[in-house]
Amino acid sequence: MSDQADMLSPDGEANIIETEYEVGQDNIQTNIGPFGLDIHNPVFMISGLTIVAFVLFTLAFQDAAGPFFNDLRGTITSIFDWFFLSAANIFVILCLVLIVTPLGKVRLGGTEAVPEYSYTGWFAMLFAAGMGIGLMFYGVSEPISHFSSSLAEGAGSPESWAPLAGAAGNEAEAQRLGMAATIFHWGLHPWAIYAVVALALALFSYNKGLPLTIRSIFYPIFGERVWGWTGHIIDTLAVFATLFGLATSLGYGAEQANAGLEFLFGWTVTDTSKVFLIIAITAIALISVVAGLDAGVKRLSEINMVLAAMLLLFVTLVGPTTEIIRGFFANLGAYAEYLPSLSNPFGRADDNFRQGWTSFYWAWWISWSPFVGMFIARVSRGRTVREFITCVLIIPSLVSVFWMTAFGGTAISQIVNDGYTAVSDASLELKLFVMLDQLPLAQITSFIGIILVIVFFVTSSDSGSLVIDTITAGGKVDAPVPQRVFWACFEGLVAIALLLGGGLGALQAAAVSTGLPFTLILLLACYAIIKGLRSEPR
Amino acid sequence: MYKKIMVPVDLAHADRLDKALTTAADLSRHYKIPVCYVGITATTPGPVAHTPEEFKSKLDAFAKDEGAKRGIDASSLAKVSHDPSVDLDETLVSALNEIGADLVVMASHVPGVPEHIFASNAGYLASHAPVSVLVVR
C-alpha cells in the first residue's frame, strides 16, 4: 500500500492503493444479437453455469438433494454455533468501537466527499434491502414462538425450544424473554454483519480506488493475487449466495403473498397462481431495473417506507397503544438485560434455541451480507464512518425494536389479554394477517400488508440484480442494461423451477451453508477495515 | 449561427472518437465558437479513473490537449451519475443545459457503451435535446 496521496486523490484526501489492475481489464465486450455484453469472463461464466448445474442437480435428485442440504445446514449450524455467535459478537463490538474512536471520522470517498443521497432516500434503501421482507414474515410469528416456548411446561429442558432457561408458567417473564430473544435476532447483530461488509466495500472502493466487488476487501491480505483465481472464487461464491438467497426468498415470498390473497379474497393457492405471482414480481422488478437506481429501486424503497410506517403507526394507534409505547422501553430494557447471556457462545444448555434459531439466523444474515452490504456500499459514498455505522447499526436496530414491539406485542396481548389464540394456531405465513384481522379495517391493512410483501420482494430482486451484475462485470457499474435484465429473469426462472420441482428448502439450506465460508471472509474483512481505516486521513 | 458545441466523450475509448472530434473542431473553427467536452462517470472506480475527482482532472487534461492540438477554444465538464448504464442519456441532456451549448456533435454511440436494444445515446439526444445534434457515423 502506498502512502503517497498524489493526483489520484479522490474528493479531498484519501489513501489510494496503487495496483496494476485496471477495472474491467479481464472483461469481455461482445454482442450477442442486439444485446451488448460487458462481463468479467471467469466469474460470469462460472457462476452462471454452476447455478444452472445446481438447479438441475437439485431437481433431478430431489430425494437425495433435500436431505443432503438440510443435513449439511443442520451440521454446520450445530457444530459451528460457537463460531457464528462469537463472530457476530466481534462484528458488533468492532462497529461500536468504530463509532467512538477517532477512526469514525474517516469519510467514505475522501475528506471532501459529499453524500449523494438524502437521509430519507438512503435509509429507505438500506432498510428495504436489509430486512424489510423479514419483518413482514417474522414480526408477528417470532415473538409468539419464543413467548410460547418460554411459557410452556418443561421450558429449559433439553427438548425445549425456549431461549435460555425459559420462564415456565410465568407469563410476564415469558413475554419479556420472548421479545428480548426476537430483538436479539433482528437488532444489533444482523445489522453489524451488514455494516462490516458494506463498510469494507465502501472503504476499499471509494477511498482505496479498487473495483466495487467483494474481492477488493481482500487486497490487504492477498495483494495482487485477488485479481486472479483467489478473487474469482470469492466473487463467484458471493454471486452464488446472492442468487440462491434471492431465488428461494422469491419462492417463499410468492407463497406468503398468495396465502395472504387467499385469506383476503379467497384466491385458491395453486402452483399456477404462485408461478403467476413470481412472474408478476419479476416483471415489476424488470421495469424497476430498467428504470435504474434513482428512478427504480430508490423510488420503490421510499414508497415502501411510507407504507410500512403507515402500517406501523396504524397498529400502534389502533392496537394497545399505551402498552406498545411502554413495551418499547420495557423491551429495550429486556434486550439489554438478556443480551449478554443470549450472545454468549459457550456453556449454554438451550441447544435447540441457540443452534436452531440464533446460529441459523446468523448464517442466514451472513449469506445475505454480500448482497445487502454491496448495495448499502453503493449508496453510501460521502458519509463518515461514524455517521454510516449510526445509520446502518443503531437506527435500524431501534426501528426493529419498535416494529417487533408493535406487531409481536399486539399479537401477544391478543393471546394474553383477549384469549384470542388464532394467531398462535395460524400457519407461519398467515400470522400477520390473522393478527391484523382482530384490528379495525382489517381488509385494508391486510391488503397493504400484501402490497408491502410484494414491493419488498421487487426491491430485493431489483437491487440483487444490480449487485450480481456489478460483481459479474468485474466491478463495473456501467455495464449494458440487458445484463441486469438477464439476472433478474434468471432469478425468477430459478425460483419457478424450484417451486415447481420442489427443492426451495434444499437450496435455501445450500445458501445458508455458504454462511460458514463467508463468516471467515467477514472476520478477515474486520482486519482489513481496521488496517484500511488507520491509513486514511481523518 | 451557433454559440457553443458540446462533444460527449468516453475517455476509455478516446482513440475511436477521432472522426467526431475532428468534425467538432472543424465546426468550431468555422463558426469561431468554443467546444466543451463532456464526460460521464460513476462514483465507483472504473477503467478510466479511481474517483470522480481523478476523472475530472483526466478529462480536463484531455480538453487542454485537444484544444492545443487542434487550435480551438476547449473546455470540459465531468458529470457524475449514480447509475450510468441507465442515466447516461438524461445526464447528457442536463449537461447540455448546464453548459448552454446549442450544437451537439457526437459519435452515433458513445463508443465503449456497447449498443443495446433500448436506444442509442445519440438517438435519444437527437429526439430529446432542444438543440441541433450532428450524429457522426
In this structure, what C-alpha cell is assigned to residue A230?
A: 483467489
Task: Look at residues A415, A430, A491, A475 and name the one whose alpha carbon lies nearest to residue A232.
Answer: A475
pLDDT value at B107 more than 90: no
Q: How far apart are CA A488 and CA A464, in angstroms?
A: 8
Residue in chain A nearest B80 by alpha carbon: A116
Distance in Å, alpha carbon of A290 to nearest chain B alpha carbon? 7
Q: Does B86 touch chain A (CB under 8 A)?
A: yes
Nearest to A36 among B52, B86, B114 (CB): B114
- The three-state secondary structure class of B36 is strand
Cβ of A478 and B42 within 8 Å? yes
What pLDDT shows up at residue A146?
94
Query: Considering only CB atoms, which chain A residues are within 8 Å of B117?
Result: 34-35, 482
* Contact state of A477 with B46 under an 8 Å Cβ cutoff: yes
Q: How far is CA A128 from CA A206, A431, A448, in A?
A: 23, 21, 16
Percent of chain B with pLDDT over 90: 41
Identify whether the C-beta of residue A317 lies closer than 8 Å to the C-beta of residue A411: no
Residue with cell 433500448: B118
Confidence grade of residue B111 (pLDDT, cut at 50, 70, 90):
very low
pLDDT by residue (tens digit) across B52-79?
888 899 999 999 999 999 999 999 999 9
Q: Give every CB contact of residue A494 below 8 A, 6+ residues apart in sequence.
A: A51, A55, A243, A244, A247
Give the burial class of B57: count Cβ atoms within 10 A of its Cβ; 0-12 exposed, 13-18 middle, 19 or more buried: middle
Q: Which residues of A touch B57 (CB under 8 A)?
A: 7
Enumerate chain A positions whose Cβ falls within 8 A of a Cβ in B. Answer: 7-11, 14, 16, 22-25, 29, 31, 34-38, 109-110, 116, 205-206, 209-212, 290-295, 378, 381, 475-482, 484
Minimum CA–CA partner of A216 in chain B: B45
Residues from chain A that touch B114, judged by Cβ atoms under 8 A, are: 29, 31, 36-38, 480
Supply the pLDDT for residue A336.
96
Q: Which helix (H) or strand (E) covers residue B38, if one does?
A: strand B35-41
C-alpha cell at B47: 477503467
* Residue whose C-alpha is closest to residue A140's, from A406, A518, A325: A406
Residue B114's pLDDT band (cuts 50, 70, 90) = very low
Contacts of A24 in chain B (CB under 8 A): 46-47
Nearest to A331 by CA among A170, A145, A168, A182: A182
Residues in chain A, total: 538
Q: What does DSSP assign to residue A170? A: -
- Among the residues of A419-514, which ranges form H helices? 422-425, 431-437, 442-472, 481-501, 504-513
Asked if B85 and A479 come within 8 Å (Cβ–Cβ), the reply is yes
pLDDT at B126: 78
Cβ(A163)–Cβ(A352) below 8 Å: no
CA distance A183 to A334: 9
| Probe site for chain B from A478, A484, A487 (most B CB atoms < 10 A) | A478
Closest partner residue to B42 among A9, A295, A477, by Cβ?
Answer: A477
- A68-534 fold: Amino acid/polyamine transporter I (1.20.1740)
- Min distance A493 CA to chain B CA atoms (Å): 22
pLDDT grade for B81, boundaries at 50, 70 and 90: confident
pLDDT at position A23 is 73
Q: What is the pLDDT of residue A9?
A: 39
Instruction: Tell whether B123 is within 8 A of chain A (Cβ).
Output: no
A456 Cα distance to chain centroid: 12
- What residues of chain A lie within 8 A of the CB of B82, using their CB? 116, 292-294
Which pLDDT score is estimated for B115?
Answer: 46
Q: Do A8 and B50 touch (CB under 8 A)?
A: yes
Q: Please identify every stretch of chain A with a pLDDT value under 70, giving residue numbers as ranges.
A: 1-14, 20, 30-37, 503
Find chain B residues with C-beta within 8 A of A9's C-beta: 51, 53-54
Across the interface, of B44, B88, B118, the residue whose CB is closest to A205 is: B44
- Report H helices in A343-394: 351, 360-378, 385-389
Across the interface, which of A24, A291, A476 has its CB nearest the CB of B86?
A291
Asked if A482 and B117 come within 8 Å (Cβ–Cβ), the reply is yes
Chain A partners of B13 at a C-beta cutoff of 8 Å?
Answer: none
Say if the Cβ atoms of A477 and B44 lie within 8 Å: yes
Best mutation target among B11, B53, B94, B120 (most A Cβ atoms within 10 Å) is B53
Quick one: CATH architecture of B5-136?
3-Layer(aba) Sandwich (3.40)
Instruction: Count Cβ–Cβ pairs < 8 Å, chain A vs chain B.
Output: 105
